[in-house]
Amino acid sequence: MQKLATPSPNIAPFCPGASYIFGQLSHTIHWDEYLEYKKAGELLSKDAQITPSINRKVVWFTLNINPEPNEHNKYGNVSFYISMEKLAVRFASYYLPKSFNLLDRNDGPNEESSSWLLWTRETIGSLAVVDLNSSFSPLQFSSGKWIYNSKYNFNLPSLEIALDVTGMNINNYLRSLYEQSIVVAVNHCDAVGAAADQALLTTHRNACQSYNFYGHACPTPYSKFET
């Protein structure tokens, strides 16, 4: 693997339990996908159904609030870390998407606070545009800082952003992201693999977002050291 490293801490509490300043996002994939990325020399987009009638090519990024070094990562074995500054400013010449649209949000007192956003150049009428100036929005940009906002402090929040690259000069843009990322092996050993008791798929469906969640065995339930 290239540029294996431990990313520096980039997230700090803004308001206790409610808002968090962050500086980077991660794009996490399984080992077989990493080999495809390495061969292509770029991040690879996927088709995503945004609404029942709209499909886009996207690259998913996530935010983990203060993750432990050996914490299980449900998304896969290898993470690409890239700063929001590079996503939002440095690659503006590649027609970077301009607005965030709200796909879904769970933010109740008895559930994990999670938000799913689409970062796109286009207006999608059925989706609400996130107001980046408002502290009531899940994502805020204030005084040069990116902030994730949550109403409650019972659980650490999670943020997932689908970067819409539909119709862009995809290869050049995604190659730039690949070259600017820090690549890190992460723990995915809690995922249910083919050798495990398949009954665990019922109780551990959240251990692997790509496979276990849909009732399938994960092909690479590795620790970061095995990766």
Contact between 154 and 109 under an 8 Å Cβ cutoff? The reply is yes
HSE-CB for 115 with a 13 A CA cutoff: 24
Burial of 157 (0-12, 13-18, 19+ CB in 10 A): buried
Looking at the domain assignment, is residue 205 inside a domain? no
Please state which of the ranges 4-13, 108-117, 212-221 shows the lowest mean pLDDT.
4-13
Q: What is the mean pLDDT of the chain?
A: 80
Q: What is the pTM of this model?
A: 0.84
Looking at the domain assignment, is residue 164 inside a domain? yes
Looking at the domain assignment, is residue 172 inside a domain? yes
pLDDT digits (tens, 9 = 90+) for 67-113: 666 889 999 999 999 988 888 765 555 555 568 888 887 765 555 66
Give the pLDDT of residue 15.
Answer: 45
Looking at the domain assignment, is residue 207 inside a domain? no
Q: Helices in 102-182 by DSSP H: which ranges?
A: 170-180
Looking at the domain assignment, is residue 224 inside a domain? no
Please state which of the ranges 6-20, 26-40, 54-68, 165-179 shows the lowest mean pLDDT.
6-20
Looking at the domain assignment, is residue 209 inside a domain? no
Strand ranges, E, within 36-138:
46-51, 54-64, 78-83, 99-106, 114-120, 128-129
Supply the range of the domain harboring residue 35: 11-187
Residues facing 218 on adjacent strands:
193
Looking at the domain assignment, is residue 94 inside a domain? yes
Looking at the domain assignment, is residue 226 inside a domain? no
Give the pLDDT of residue 186.
Answer: 93
Between 4 and 18, residue with greater pLDDT: 18
The domain tally of the chain equals: 1
